[in-house]
Structure 1
Amino acid sequence: MTGDRDIKHMKWWGWGVDGVAFHHHDKPAFAPFVKEAVHLDLSTAQAVVPPELESLPVPVPKLTDAFAAQLVEVVGADHVHTDTLDRIVHTYGKSLRDLVRLRRAVIPRIPDVVLYPADEEQVRAIVDLAVAEDAVIIPFGGGTNISGSLEPPADETRPVLSVDLGRMNKVLDIDAESGLARIQAGTLGPDLEEQLGARGWTMGHFPDSFTHSTVGGWVATRSSGMQSDKYGDIADITRGLRLVVPGDVCVLRPLPSTATGPSVREMVLGSEGRLGIITEVTVQVHRLPEQRVIIGYLFPSWEAGLAAMQEIAASDAAPIVTRVSDANETKFSFSTSKAKPGLNLSGKIQKGLFTVLEKRGWDMSKVCLSFIGYEGAKSHVAYEKKLVKAIVGRHGGIVVGTGPGRLYDQKKFDTPYLRDFLLDRGAAGDVSETAAPWSRLMEVYDNTVAAAQRAYEEIGHPGWIMCHLSHSYHSGACLYFTFAFVHGEEDPLGEYDVVKSAIQQSFVDHGGTLSHHHAVGTEHSRWLEQDISAPGVAMINGVLGTIDPGRNFNPEKITGH
């Protein structure tokens, strides 16, 4: 049985684990890029030291002795925590807003107690006690959420319980004939793939947060992974689940398809802990592929790259990854290349290639880098690579090989560390993503970039925005934007709101959704009605109000009520 101290929590003030951080000393193009992009001089910028944990204003827990004793009786004294570190770690997710508030000691409400149940029976007991006590229950997986889905309401006067499922971290069973695996909800991505891989299987779900996020968290936020083009997002992968509600367990059997009225499974997907606590998920799994390869490509323009991705999505090819970066993100990617040539497009290799392309008439300021991935039998991979190469060629692109693809695979989970690096030096960096039909994708892109630039002018700081297409579908694709600017000291979150709001409003104004895979939480709830209409919001509130009339489960997330 996993002990509480064996559970892998991230550092309380930033992303990832202590001792791991982004650095640029071996990336000679990075500092000049940052100076040009956001006017931040890394040669003089001083990194801010995070505050001491002991300096944070942590109030005494709001727990009666009798209630605390009941909780201890359920999970044991060793699994009931009221210490400062545990409570702070479970207060926020890892959004820029969360980290700025933590570093400035803006913590209006924190959990009163953190509980680590060992199994579903203990979760049921916690839920029933909490509802009887009229306490607030906030399920906690890995704490990676960036949409405000974890924080207690600032004015909450009831006791707040954070229920950490980290001890529930096992693959319970694999139905090999059906390709289904039963998994406890607190299982982290790496632990899941290790347990599946030891038996020859993979789930194929690799979100950016993979290293630190859990199966239950993926379901609760409708997560997508980097290989969702083949495996589907978590809504496609999830076949069954178990959800603890007051006095009972909602059990959804892992059926391949069903016509039993409105989908309860769909209600739980993306519910962010508002309907109960997910304890177990049954997912589709696949045999480990014979071959896996990620190949880099270059396109002469963003428009050409998008057109190629659209044709690939409509073709007989079925890659696991179809990703293309715009010119700005391509410049950023090249800036993070290490000085030593090898796996990446750097140094003499890049210069030589660019010289050849310039002679062909390419405008190198518009070049777009793409990664496309393939899995399966060697013959199948070869077939798909041939199909894609022809499509890429029809749109003026070229193949640059497996070197950049190997680098992509090695670094794909490291980007959040860069956000912390910039934040340490007074720069705000964050992401917003959307999905839109192919027919409106360029409209969303162009208007979002323009909206961000107007926002930078409004706050009076130069800023940067870049984008990549991250997931392709039959009818459209996901556009994933990253933006950054050097914030002022007086009101960094006010400035951030101006930029973030401009980007989000552009999404819904031009045919996109408020979020493709980062959930709603509190960060995006103001756009929900524009996204799904007022009757749609009323339906959600009707379900939430029926299942949780006392607002005990993670209140104010999704709809703001």
Structure 2
Amino acid sequence: MTDVVHQKWWGWGVEGVAFNPDDKPGFAPFVHDVLGIDVSGPAGSPPAFEELDVPASRLPDDLGGSLRRIVGDHHITTDDMDRVVHTYGKGLRDLVRVRAGDLPRLPDVVVYPANEAEVQQIVDQVVAADGVLIPFGGGSNISGSLTPQAGEDRPVVSLDLGRLNRVLEIDSDAGLARVQAGGLGPDLEAQLTEQGWTMGHQPDSFKHSTLGGWIATRSSGMQSDKYGDIADITRGMRVVLPGKVVELRPLPSTSTGPSVREMILGSEGRLGVITEAWVHVHRLPENREVIAYLFPNWAAGIAAMQEISVSDATPSITRVSDANETAFSLATRKESKGLSSKVGEGLFELLRRRGWDLNKVCISYIGYEGGSAKVRADKSEVGRIVGRHGGIKLGKGPGSMYDQKKFDTPYLRDFLLDRGALGDVSETATPWSRLGEVYVATVRAARKAFAELDVQGFIMCHLSHSYHSGACLYFTFAFPPREDSPQLEQYDVVKSAIQQSFIDHGGTLSHHHGVGTDHAPWMEQDISPAGVDLMVGLLQSADPGRHLNPGTLLPPDREW
């Protein structure tokens, strides 16, 4: 069998890795205060896999035989575990359903091609058999882009690209690398680092997501202020369609009509299977630092981020958390003893004496990369801006902690589920002129939804990426659902309130998590009915038989 490693069938990451509250003394009191649940007591756990009622594969013998001839017996499977792993992503809805054994439609087979030629043959065989093909990368999607449609009666094939995981070549003069689409973030960066390069793309899902998945969902990373979103990084692509391959050369800019490259970015498997891409790469920076700052309030932090975005400074990270997220971050710190603990206590006491309201303080992280002179100049300019907005520098210590923990947050979703609480995220982008309005309205909408459900809920936010005209706001929310109503119905009340607030106040339905099925209901409000008409026409033209991941991107009433 293939040696491609997958995440847990029931949660985030690989077996044996989980959120551990034992060395974080402030965490349990914090969760009890904001959610009213006791996380120190015994926790629930996912069911044993053997308890699931897994529907049998419906793979036709002739299609199965054709696929085996293409990839060989060791790279095709109808095993129940593999099929369940490839049924859902890792969103809240996915995890609730899979833990409950809700498996109305699974892929009938999982296939692991070794190269583009095999991908082409698989696509052609699936289409010839009137089947459905769903590309699969790391399985980290959280917007419902991986799950077969419940009423689908055609054979469903999950095409796992995990064996296409190599950096194929580097054009050092152009700063471009040709990379296979199935490589996970750490593996690709390790290959690039060996040759002195980096792509610089680090989404929260970095350890468990792939280049193809980033492109298919228009991913953004923590260092996008410097390196750009994946739409900026990706210059050329190869995309397999039935009977043909779209080849887009890695040109710096073109004037060749509507951009096919832009059509494929964010297409979530609807316009073909991405097999490789040319991406921007950069020489490894001489220096890299993340510095933490503290602002007296959210408004001051936002104003500073906006000023930094139009200044001469070019940091790699500009992030600021609101008061709620700052309190959460402080609650998840490991126990501190000795001098560092006393210094922290002394600083907060000093700020209290200066008149700071410690319930409103907001922590910020700014990243710096480059030569010594550049980093020094950037830090100096940012320091002046922070000071003008009443902020203070905390230093490298807290900044290095951010760097160490930056990929750990998704594990909290599983931790809360085991203790009867639902936790999820929604993110948006909006112009600077609307950012305050979007933030206030969304927090208000979430709290109103909590009140309607009669639950104790919590919402927090951070600004994660800055642009010339605006920024991304990333919200995290959690609540313990009532036992007298289905969990996902209650979740939908909160999630819908947040999403509708984005649209009503000038934001987009998603900044970097894609559309899938979860966000499709807001597509017409986001890009206009006429915009959806254009998308419908594009999908009907490229895939008239609805063989390529049907059901994502568009609301059901507009799908066909």
What residue is the counterpart of 2:443 in the other structure? 449
Would you say the 8 A contact 2:55–2:103 is kept in 1? no
3-state DSSP of counterpart to 1:138? strand
Is 1:381 aligned to 2:375, yes or no?
A: yes
3-state DSSP of counterpart to 1:267? helix
Among residues 8, 11, 16, which one is paired with 2:8 in the alignment? 11
Is 1:50 aligned to 2:46, yes or no?
A: yes
Would you say the 8 A contact 1:172–1:181 is kept in 2? yes
**Deviation (angstroms), 1:341:** 4.3
Is 1:261 aligned to 2:262, yes or no?
A: no
What residue is the counterpart of 2:348 in the other structure? 354
**Deviation (angstroms), 1:96:** 0.5
What residue is the counterpart of 2:394 in the other structure? 400
**Deviation (angstroms), 1:225:** 0.2
C-alpha distance in structure 2 between counterparts of 1:399 and 1:91, whole Å: 46
Would you say the 8 A contact 2:67–2:76 is kept in 1? yes
**Deviation (angstroms), 1:340:** 2.3
What residue is the counterpart of 2:62 in the other structure? 66
Is 1:210 aligned to 2:177, yes or no?
A: no
What residue is the counterpart of 1:93 in the other structure? 89
Would you say the 8 A contact 1:432–1:482 is kept in 2? yes
Deviations 1:224-280 (A, max 9, x none): 000000000000000000000010000000000000000000000000000110000
What residue is the counterpart of 1:409 in the other structure? 403
Among residues 512, 519, 532, which one is paired with 1:537 in the alignment? 532
C-alpha distance in structure 2 between counterparts of 1:12 and 1:445, whole Å: 34
What residue is the counterpart of 2:296 in the other structure? 300
What residue is the counterpart of 1:551 in the other structure? 546
C-alpha distance in structure 1 between counterparts of 2:73 and 2:375, whole Å: 54
What residue is the counterpart of 1:459 in the other structure? 453
**Deviation (angstroms), 1:61:** 1.2
C-alpha distance in structure 2 between counterparts of 1:378 and 1:110, whole Å: 53
Is 1:35 aligned to 2:28, yes or no?
A: no
Deviations 1:131-157 (A, max 9, x none): 110000000000000000000001000
**Deviation (angstroms), 1:429:** 0.6
Is 1:246 aligned to 2:225, yes or no?
A: no
When normalised by structure 1's length, the TM-score is 0.98
Would you say the 8 A contact 2:269–2:548 is kept in 1? yes
Query: What number of residue pairs does the alignment pair up?
Result: 555
Would you say the 8 A contact 1:243–1:278 is kept in 2? yes
What residue is the counterpart of 1:364 in the other structure? 358
**Matching residue's letter, 1:131:** V
Deviations 1:74-115 (A, max 9, x none): 111111100011000000000010000011011110000000
Among residues 92, 109, 112, which one is paired with 1:113 in the alignment? 109
Among residues 469, 482, 485, which one is paired with 2:463 in the alignment? 469
Would you say the 8 A contact 1:341–1:349 is kept in 2? no
What residue is the counterpart of 1:423 in the other structure? 417
3-state DSSP of counterpart to 2:206? coil
Q: 1:170 to 1:342 in 2, by over 3 A?
A: farther
Among residues 196, 199, 210, which one is paired with 2:195 in the alignment? 199
Would you say the 8 A contact 1:297–1:399 is kept in 2? yes
What residue is the counterpart of 1:324 in the other structure? 320
**Matching residue's letter, 1:307:** A
**Matching residue's letter, 1:284:** H
Percent identity, aligned pairs only, is 66
**Matching residue's letter, 2:497:** A
C-alpha distance in structure 1 between counterparts of 2:337 and 2:171, whole Å: 46
Query: What do you get for the CA RMSD once the two structures are aligned?
Result: 1.0
What residue is the counterpart of 1:237 in the other structure? 233
C-alpha distance in structure 1 between counterparts of 2:386 and 2:427, whole Å: 25
C-alpha distance in structure 2 between counterparts of 1:341 and 1:201, whole Å: 39
Q: 1:430 to 1:24 in 2, by over 3 A?
A: same
What runs of 5+ residues in structure 2 fail to find an aligned partner? none
Is 1:122 aligned to 2:118, yes or no?
A: yes
C-alpha distance in structure 2 between counterparts of 1:556 and 1:393, whole Å: 50
Q: 1:30 to 1:93 in 2, by over 3 A?
A: same
C-alpha distance in structure 2 between counterparts of 1:378 and 1:27, whole Å: 36
C-alpha distance in structure 2 between counterparts of 1:526 and 1:65, whole Å: 37
What residue is the counterpart of 2:79 in the other structure? 83
**Deviation (angstroms), 1:487:** 1.5
What residue is the counterpart of 1:161 in the other structure? 157
Q: 1:268 to 1:341 in 2, by over 3 A?
A: farther
3-state DSSP of counterpart to 1:432? strand
C-alpha distance in structure 2 between counterparts of 1:503 and 1:552, whole Å: 32
C-alpha distance in structure 1 between counterparts of 2:35 and 2:24, whole Å: 18
What residue is the counterpart of 2:514 in the other structure? 519
Would you say the 8 A contact 1:342–1:403 is kept in 2? no
When normalised by structure 2's length, the TM-score is 0.98
**Deviation (angstroms), 1:328:** 0.3
What residue is the counterpart of 1:22 in the other structure? 19
C-alpha distance in structure 1 between counterparts of 2:29 and 2:310, whole Å: 40
C-alpha distance in structure 1 between counterparts of 2:70 and 2:460, whole Å: 49
Would you say the 8 A contact 2:132–2:154 is kept in 1? yes
Deviations 1:305-338 (A, max 9, x none): 0000000001000100000000000000000011
**Deviation (angstroms), 1:342:** 8.2
C-alpha distance in structure 2 between counterparts of 1:406 and 1:93, whole Å: 30
**Matching residue's letter, 2:23:** D
C-alpha distance in structure 1 between counterparts of 2:55 and 2:509, whole Å: 35
C-alpha distance in structure 1 between counterparts of 2:282 and 2:364, whole Å: 26
What runs of 5+ residues in structure 1 fail to find an aligned partner? none
3-state DSSP of counterpart to 1:211? helix
C-alpha distance in structure 2 between counterparts of 1:324 and 1:142, whole Å: 29
Q: 1:433 to 1:341 in 2, by over 3 A?
A: farther
**Deviation (angstroms), 1:349:** 2.8
**Deviation (angstroms), 1:42:** 1.6
